[in-house]
Amino acid sequence: MDILSNIFYFCIALGVLIAIHEAGHFFMARLMGVYVERFSLGFGPVLLSRRGKDGTEYSLSLLPFGGYVKMYGEDKDSIDASREHEAFCCKKVWQRFLIVLAGPFNNIALAWALYFLVFLMGIPDVKPVFDVISGGLAEQNGFRSGDLIVKVGDDEVVDIEESLYSLISRIGEDTVSVTVKGGYGAEQERELNLPLSSWSLEPGNPRILDQIGLEPMSYKISGRIEMVESGSRAEKAGLQKDDEFVSYDDIPYQNWKSFSSYIKAHPEKTLKVTLKRDARELTLDLIPEGKEKNGVLQGYAGIMPAIDEIPGITFVRKYDFWPAVKGSWYKTWDMSIITLRFIKKFVTGDISPKNISGPVGIAKGAGLTGRMGYVFFLSFMALISVNLGVLNLLPIPVLDGGHLFFYLLEGIFRRPVSAKALDILMKTGFALLCLLMIVAVFNDLYFSW
């Protein structure tokens, strides 16, 4: 069923984003007096079509990964002299520039509108509070458990997502300034420097912060026992619900991760576990059961710790009308800048091409957020819309940004780029785009399928 819902939400998201993008080209072309021959959602053979009163053919085509607006007079050789006034190629360079710009602009405007709706309705969120991994890079550079990140470089961050994107967009940098507040945000600000030059991303790894020694913290695993499994070694040793760990083998109990790792490393070994029960301490002998996992024998005790909520970490991000207008603008701007940083990191090699995601990855994200609720789905659509808008503005032939670059050159030098040069550049851009799509689809099939 997840596959079907992924496809369903993917089609909705892609359909809306493509329609909004092409609508930008369409309405700006009409505004500039250009006759539009066809408005198509999708490429390839036409499945459905209808001709409007304006003479434009509105169609749905077979391949859903894009769309196009076919304007009269895109090629100078094919126009009738009596219709020059409605030919695209006969319009002034600034008019052609605006027609092409309108597509990516619409995507960025859509992102702003979606973020505005999300902030107006309210979205459940988590503050960027982190735990530190003992001995990890973050701890070595001054991070403490319970630190709230308020700024990464010059980026102010409000939630886990923003802090994560901001950190990843600086991957490979020698030193990144991170401003934190200890005690879950209750203490004074401290400015720390975090080296990210050795950080690398592996596709499919959900624990991408482990390399720098950070873990998102939305709850705290206590040292109190919530459940003892029936028939387990813990039950045989006499451990009970609500017992609180004090030490094990004379090692003071600090956190559940260290303790559980110690249990796993000592299968069939006697551990001296000191507990607090009803205001008194007692010491019991616990012998973890040896269980094989991935060819390695690990200890298993059969206990589950209690989960304590941390007050104030989870919240609903909701604004009134004007703060939502302002907040959605800043969110769209920040995500645009972060998208550009990501692109730069791909070009410099700081982020591997293995992390480029294609339609399968997008479909999974659409399906997951769709099942979580419409407000999460709208937020996901806003993120993809920002990415689509920014990517289309890159000065790469075939993309809108490539055409805009050619129009800028035409405006500066008072003559268009030669047909021969344009043909070579367009073919090169098309080849690069095809290569990028092949890499994305391969990554989808190899890492995500």
The residues pairing with 225 across neighbouring beta strands, listed in sequence order, are 305
Contact 179, 150 (CB under 8 A): yes
Maximum C-alpha span of the chain: 99
Instruction: Look up residue 179 and give its two tokens.
Output: 């401003």
Annotated active-site residue in 22, 139, 268, 292 = 22
Give the number of other Cβ atoms within 10 Å of residue 415's Cβ: 9
Nearest by Cα to 217 from 316, 145, 315, 151: 145
Task: Compute how many other C-beta atoms are within 10 angstroms of the C-beta atom of residue 335.
Answer: 23
Query: What whole-number distance in Å separates Cα of residue 349 and Cα of residue 345?
Result: 6
Q: What are the φ/ψ torsions at residue 111 (nearest 5 degrees)? A: -60, -45
Which 8-state DSSP code applies to residue 447?
I
CA distance 361 to 203: 11
Q: Is the dihedral of CA 15, 17, 22, 28 positive or negative?
A: positive
Determine the 3-state secondary structure of 209 from DSSP.
Answer: coil
22 in catalytic set: yes
- Please report how the helices 374-392 and 359-372 are oriented relative to each other, as an axis angle in degrees rounded to 10: 150
Nearest to 179 by CA among 156, 209, 201: 156
**Residue 132 backbone zone (phi > 0: left; psi -120 to 50: alpha; other: beta):** beta
Chain mean position to CA 377: 13
* Beta strands in 253-379, from DSSP E residues, in sequence order: 271-277, 280-286, 289-293, 296-300, 303-309, 314-317
Give the separation between CA 156 and CA 212, rounded to whole angstroms.
Answer: 20
Residue 151 has a CB neighbour count (10 Å cut-off) of 16
Distance CA 392, CA 394 (A): 6
Residue type, 264: K
Q: 61 pairs with which residues across the strands?
A: 46
> Of 270, 269, 265, whose CA–CA distance to 298 is shortest?
265
- Is 448:206 a contact under the CB 8 Å cutoff? no
Nearest to 225 by CA among 264, 256, 196: 256
Catalytic residues, which ones?
Answer: 22
